[in-house]
Structure 1
């Protein structure tokens, strides 16, 4: 005879029986993890929180050696200003945050003091001829379509990872080689 209490155990018993059946058919080394159903439909539909900083349309200029750069749009998903203070990539032993500014009548690249500041709920463009992520002494060829991993570090120590896609770009013939003047 079923009591209200035994009826409440039926779903758990059925789940246990299914787990035993599946584990018996799965072969050696199969591990099943127990999961619990959401307590309400609203809990099942709740979106996960957005990361504080994301990057849209990330790409890296193709190249064979020397230097190259990565671009995209940094997007701040928070109500507070965020500052990117450094970057890293397995493609390059040295990654710097750069800007392009006028100096002595010429446009020059230099490290961006203070990093990239992304306003609350705002964006910060990384573009050829402007702010960008500089890779110096790349250790491999970047071909069109290549996937290059990056990690950006924020002022609070948080890390943001993304993958940039290799893209051919002649642009304004930016010079990513040190000590060469193409003017």
Structure 2
């Protein structure tokens, strides 16, 4: 009889185990989707011609700020150089390409005239402390977790609209930009 009771008990517990397995499987599946969704937000890319724009991002700004920075990596997969000529966005009255550097021990920032060359088969990273976009006379502050659009114009590839992902104030560059 004890064998009979064990089999009966096992049969009664099987639906519960199946339900538990289904719940666990659903939870794992949901977490996998969440991870994939988060990764796609972090690793967004845009393409025009032979040019790829990797992960445009910005930082949130404090209340009253009039400028914000914009960063991304430009990859030229073509056999000829191209040039980033201009950028425009509804978030600011104007946007300029700037370069930071150190001269005689003093950090300087200046607009880049004539655009930024992207050599053939190469990449150029715009990041804090280097080449970057300055969004000036902000119409609205970039807020953490939001995105805003900007249009980049290249000499050969043409124009492309990209979405900047806004990170926290003072955040480090995303992993993709540290290659």
Shorter chain as denominator, the TM-score bin is: 0.5 to 0.7
Q: Which residue of 2 aligns with 1:131?
A: 131
Q: Which residue of 2 aligns with 1:54?
A: 52
Q: Which residue of 2 aligns with 1:100?
A: 100
Structure 2 spans left out of the alignment, 5+ residues: 1-46, 173-179
- Equivalents in 2 of 1:58, 1:164: separation in Å? 5
Which structure carries more strand by proportion?
A: 2
More displaced 10-residue stretch of structure 1: 79-88 or 156-165: 156-165
Q: How large is the Cα RMSD of the aligned pairs?
A: 2.0
Query: CA 1:58–1:156 in 2, change beyond 3 Å: closer, same or farther?
Result: same
Query: CA 1:93–1:106 in 2, change beyond 3 Å: closer, same or farther?
Result: same
User: Offset at 1:103?
Assistant: 3.1
Q: Which residue of 2 aligns with 1:3?
A: none
Q: Which residue of 2 aligns with 1:73?
A: 73
Structure 1 spans left out of the alignment, 5+ residues: 1-48, 173-183
Asked whether the equivalents of residues 59 and 69 of structure 2 are also in contact (C-alpha less than 8 Å), the reply is yes
Q: TM-score, normalised by structure 1?
A: 0.62
User: Offset at 1:106?
Assistant: 0.8
User: Offset at 1:114?
Assistant: 2.5
Q: TM-score, normalised by structure 2?
A: 0.63
User: Offset at 1:93?
Assistant: 1.0
Task: Number of aligned residue pairs: give it.
Answer: 124
Relative contact order (C-alpha < 8 Å, sep 6+): which is higher?
2
More displaced 10-residue stretch of structure 1: 155-164 or 106-115: 155-164
